[in-house]
C-alpha cells in the first residue's frame, strides 16, 4: 500500500494527539509514504505556531520538526504537479494547497492520510482512497 501523508495527520502523530496511534500504525504498515514537497513548509509553519502561540519550547519544536519530516519516505516536487493541481483546484473550487496532496495520491494510486474533513470529501468525490478513522 502506498500512502500520501498530509501535514494535519503528521502533526497529529508528532504531537501525540487523540488519533496518533491509529495514524502511526497506518503509515507504519505502508510500503511507501510520500507527500508533496509542500508538506515541509506546512509542517514548519505549524510548528512555528506552536512555538509562538502555545509556548512549545524551541528544542521540542526542533525535535517535532525532525520527527514530522522523517515520516514520509520521500517528497514529490510541486513542479511535477502544479498544472494538474491548478486545473483540479479550479474544477473543485478548492485551495490548491490541499489539492497537491490529492493529486499526489491520485497519481500514485495511494491512500490519502489526512484529518481535513473537506479534503476527505474531495478525495472521495475524485475516487481517491482515504484513511478513515
User: What are the pLDDT digits (tens) for 35-75?
Assistant: 999 999 999 999 999 999 998 999 999 999 999 999 999 99
Q: What is the pLDDT of residue 43?
A: 97
pLDDT band with cut points at 50, 70 and 90 for residue 103: very high
Dist CA 34 CA 127 (whole Å): 19
- Measured over the CA atoms of residue 106, residue 107, residue 112 and residue 118, the dihedral's sign is negative
Q: Which CATH architecture has domain 2-125?
A: 3-Layer(aba) Sandwich (3.40)
Dist CA 78 CA 122 (whole Å): 20
Q: What is the pLDDT of residue 55?
A: 87
Instruction: Give the three-class secondary structure for 33.
Output: strand
**What is the grid cell recorded at 36?**
508533496
Give the whole-number percent of the chain exceeding pLDDT 90: 96
**What is the grid cell recorded at 90?**
479550479
SS3 content of the chain, % helix, strand, coil (to 5): 60, 10, 30
For the chain, give every domain's residue range: 2-125
**What is the grid cell recorded at 40?**
515541509
52-70 as b/e, with b when 16 or more CB fall inside 10 Å?
A: eeeebeeeebeebbeebbe
pLDDT beyond 90 at 132: no
The mean pLDDT of 105-110, rounded to a whole number, is 97
Pairing label, strands 2-5, 32-36: parallel
Amino acid at each position: 500500500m502506498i500512502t500520501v501523508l498530509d501535514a494535519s495527520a503528521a502533526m497529529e502523530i508528532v504531537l501525540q494527539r487523540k488519533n496518533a496511534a491509529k495514524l502511526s500504525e497506518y503509515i507504519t504498515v505502508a510500503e511507501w509514504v510520500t507527500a508533496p514537497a509542500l508538506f515541509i513548509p506546512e509542517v514548519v509553519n505549524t510548528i512555528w505556531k506552536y512555538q509562538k502561540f502555545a509556548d512549545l519550547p524551541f528544542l521540542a519544536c526542533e525535535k517535532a520538526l525532525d520527527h514530522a519530516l522523517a515520516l514520509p519516505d520521500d517528497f514529490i516536487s510541486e513542479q511535477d504537479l502544479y498544472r494538474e493541481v491548478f486545473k483540479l483546484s479550479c474544477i473543485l473550487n478548492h485551495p490548491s494547497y490541499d489539492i497537491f496532496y490529492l493529486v499526489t495520491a491520485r497519481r500514485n494510486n495511494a491512500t490519502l492520510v489526512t484529518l481535513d474533513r473537506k479534503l476527505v470529501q474531495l478525495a472521495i468525490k475524485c475516487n481517491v482512497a482515504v484513511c478513515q478513522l
